Amino acid sequence: MVCISLFSYLADKGTEKEPIVSKHFPALLAAGTLALCLVVPSCSFTPSETTSAPSATETLNTDTSKLAGYWKSSYNDGFEINGATFAQYDDAAKGISFAGTVVNVRNINAASGYLTILVTNSGTWGKTVGSFYVIAWQIVSDSKMKESTAFKTGSTSNSGISTRIAAENEFTIDNGYFWFADYLKQ
């Protein structure tokens, strides 16, 4: 609305032979773009929360087929999903950061969501065996994914939470636990 009013005002100020809008179109386009950037909220690759709150009566989904495989970052850390098994690796030699059994896959949308795991191996990161932990994922392409394990500075929950529902409620993007990195399918 503001842009339309601005263009209408400037068009009226020009002459029939040389309207201000056409004379100053590049500058007006830049100003309009800047105005849109200031008015429209910025876009981020991080999806917003659209999943419903977890409940004890929901049907759990354990289909990891679209995430299956070994994925590695440029830092040589990685993760692997094979059926219901999830492992986070420290390095290319596949030293275990932590590992567990996938107990729920929640989709935010068709290309992003959360994996909830029951920790079975505390690994080098010292996750609590028997606790629940959440991993967030975003599919970029068939060969590239963004992934993040839950971590927030100062949180007492970084090692895992005793129940699935509590873990899924706490470990969310909106709660500030996820900082995504790029991983390529190997």
For the chain, give the percent of residues with pLDDT over 90: 65
Enter the DSSP assignment of 93.
Answer: T
pLDDT at residue 37, rounded to an integer: 36
- 51 by Cβ neighbours in 10 Å (0-12 / 13-18 / 19+) ranks as middle
Other residues' Cβ atoms within 10 Å of the Cβ of residue 58: 13
Burial of 164 (0-12, 13-18, 19+ CB in 10 A): buried
Say how far apart CA 164 and CA 114 lie, in whole Å. Answer: 12
Does residue 7 or residue 140 have the better pLDDT?
Answer: 140
Listed in sequence order, the residues at least 6 apart from 82 whose beta carbon sits closer than 8 Å to its beta carbon are 68
Determine the pLDDT at residue 21.
Answer: 45
Average pLDDT (55-82) is 90
Above pLDDT 70, what percent of the chain?
69
Out of 34-43, 57-66, 121-130, pick the least confident: 34-43
Least confident of 45-49, 77-81, 82-86, 158-162: 45-49
pLDDT (mean) for 104-120? 94
* Most confident option among 63-67, 107-111, 117-121: 117-121
| pLDDT value, residue 168 | 96
Q: Residue 58: pLDDT band by 50, 70, 90 thresholds?
A: confident
Give the separation between CA 84 and CA 104, rounded to whole angstroms: 9
- pLDDT of 72 strictly over 90: yes
Q: What is the pLDDT of residues 143-173, one digit of tens each?
A: 999 999 999 999 999 999 999 999 999 999 9
- For residues 85 and 12, give the distance between their C-alpha atoms in angstroms, rounded to a whole number: 67
